[in-house]
Amino acid sequence: MSRRKKSKKRVIAPDAIYNSKLASMIINKVLLKGKKTLAQHIFYESMKKIKEITNKEPIEVLQKAILNITPIVELKSRRVGGATYQVPIEIKQERGTSIALSFLIKSARNRPGRNMIFKLGNELIDAYNNTGNSVKKKDELHKQAESNKAFSSFKF
């Protein structure tokens, strides 16, 4: 265990258009090789596509989609004796949101097609409707946590 000071949480600035911290978090997850303007372009264009398809406020669709993807528990590896167990641990809301965003971006990148704008928009719409790969990942995680419930006595 480190004896130094705890690191401070960085304050996330809200994005310019929607004034939402969640939107800026997604932009930072989409970001590749430091090209933030390209990541912003991808995110905002996918939000326009969501507005065209669903006829609802895109930020509300985004929040509901992230809420549908957010896991409640997480599996951590714990070594006891010679064996390694996957121990289910309840997680905080902030960590759950971070995991949900990584599920969303990975699922969007793995979708077939060429254009990331369409892939991200369609993945968000699928998550809003409780379908899609990112929701499936969350359900798999919960099933694994349920099956490893016996090891919850090995919590940290």
What is the C-alpha separation between 76 and 48, in angstroms, rounded?
Answer: 38
Flag whether 4 is in a domain.
no
CATH number at residue 33: 1.10.455.10
Q: What does the pLDDT look like over 92-132, one tens digit per residue?
A: 999 999 999 999 999 999 999 889 999 999 999 999 999 98
Q: How many domains does the chain have?
A: 1
DSSP label at residue 5 = P
Its domain, for residue 39, covers: 21-74+91-132
Least reliable range by pLDDT among 56-60, 62-66, 76-80, 105-109: 76-80
CB atoms within 10 A of CB 145: 21
DSSP label at residue 7 = P
Flag whether 79 is in a domain.
no
What is the C-alpha separation between 29 and 122, in angstroms, rounded?
Answer: 17
